[in-house]
Amino acid sequence: MNVRSLPPKLLLPWLVAGTAWLCAAHAFAADPFASKPVKILVGFSPGGSNDVVARLIAPKLAEGLGAQVLVDNRPGAGGNIAVSAMLTAPADGHTLLMCTTGTLSIQPHVLKSMPFDPEKDIVPVTQVTNAPYMLMVNSTLPVTSVKELVAYARQKPGELNFASSGTATGGHLAGEMLKTRAGIDIVHVAYKGTGQAMTDLLAGQVSMIFDQPVSSMQYARSGKLRALAVASPRRLAAFPDIPTVTEAGIPDFEPVTWAGICAAKNTPPAVVERIQREVAKVLATPDIAKRLAADGLEPVGSTPEQFRAFLAADKRKWGRVVKDADVKAE
């Protein structure tokens, strides 16, 4: 049948149908992203700060993307198991990583070899939060300040220990900094995530931890843990009565860490940009910003370019910390 010979009244449905088909085909070809559920891989066990932040932003991110957003915990190897899982998945934006200070900024200075290249294999999407550490001790430990903790540790060299979510994580480095700056002998105990570490801290199996308030302050409020100080340049607005470590007598003690969203190399730039925009929108939402601030976290939402520049500077900063503390892989 020759369509051009049809009368206008009969030709119109053909034109409408053809136009609709072309638009649908163009949309599918131009934006296949978010055509299925999006996973955010967290390299640590449930209950830690990175897990809490990922689960906080996931529902609103799902609204913005128009697709389900799932949080998938893959603990172990200081976050590297999650990285490997992302890198073996298709680089289409449907598998993302909750990247951390330890994985991208610290481990390259500590591990003899990395299972991936942090600069070539990982695409920075956006920094989600800045997260200062808080020094928490088991409430049965007979100390109420950093000064008392240091004095107690000097009386019992090698008897106190500190937990972390894994070797070469920010919490591990903060503990090593305390050892070096205060001149005390405390033993590092590495776990596969903050959740496991917190279980043993609450049970009295370990003495202390540097952790973000988002995952540990609830235990201080209940009296199970005692918050001695916050490792940041200034006191947190959410916890104004808790001094900084510097105020407590250890100068320039500011091992602030971060969490971000990263993708695998070869992820289409348009997909990276869309994810960044949607995450930034979520972080700007008043209820999300309020919740983060209440937990001592600062929302960021930087562009991929800003995040990449931040990572380069952060890696240099932690390299100096690793060298000064003489941290070695365990």
Q: What is the pLDDT of residue 112?
A: 85
280 vs 19, residue with greater confidence: 280
Q: What is the pLDDT of residue 5?
A: 54
Q: What is the pLDDT of residue 78?
A: 85
What is the token pair recorded at 181? 């700056």
Confidence at 278, pLDDT banded by 50, 70, 90: very high
- Give how far Cα 140 sits from Cα of 116, 154, 207, 223, 226, Å: 42, 18, 9, 10, 9
* Cα 110 from Cα 101, distance rounded (Å): 13
**Where does the chain have alpha helices with state H?**
8-30, 49-65, 80-88, 101, 107-110, 146-155, 170-182, 194-202, 213-221, 269-284, 286-294, 304-325
Check whether 6 has a pLDDT greater than 60: no
Confidence at 113, pLDDT banded by 50, 70, 90: confident
Check whether 224 has a pLDDT greater than 60: yes
Pick from 247, 255, 237, 161: nearest CA to 205: 161
Q: What is the mean pLDDT of residues 220-233?
A: 93
Q: What is the pLDDT of residue 296?
A: 86
What is the token pair recorded at 316? 């240099």
What is the token pair recorded at 126? 């956006």
**pLDDT tens-place string over residues 241-263:** 999 999 999 988 888 889 999 99
Place of tokens 């991110």: 61
Q: What is the pLDDT of residue 27?
A: 38
Does domain 133-231 correspond to CATH entry 3.40.190.10? yes
Confidence at 28, pLDDT banded by 50, 70, 90: very low
328 vs 221, residue with greater confidence: 221
Q: What is the pLDDT of residue 29?
A: 43
303 vs 218, residue with greater confidence: 303
Mean pLDDT (the chain, rounded)? 89
Coil/strand/helix, residue 106: helix
- 197 neighbors 209 (Cβ within 8 angstroms): yes
Does domain 38-131+257-325 correspond to CATH entry 3.40.190.150? yes
**pLDDT tens-place string over residues 163-210:** 998 888 889 999 999 998 999 999 999 998 888 999 999 999 999 999
* Cα 273 from Cα 326, distance rounded (Å): 39
What percent of the chain clears pLDDT 90, i.e. is strictly above it? 68
Phi-psi region of 252 (alpha: psi -120 to 50; beta: other; left: phi over 0): left
Pairing of strands 208-211, 133-138: antiparallel
- Give how far Cα 82 sits from Cα of 22, 71, 88, 296, 312, Å: 39, 12, 10, 26, 22
Largest CA distance in the chain: 99
Tell me, yes or no, if the two domains 38-131+257-325 and 133-231 fold the same way. yes
- 86 neighbors 121 (Cβ within 8 angstroms): no
Check whether 32 has a pLDDT greater than 90: no
Domain ranges of the chain: 38-131+257-325, 133-231
* Cα 181 from Cα 174, distance rounded (Å): 10
Check whether 44 has a pLDDT greater than 80: yes
Cβ neighbours, 10 Å, residue 3: 10
**pLDDT tens-place string over residues 68-94:** 999 999 998 889 999 999 999 999 999
287 vs 13, residue with greater confidence: 287
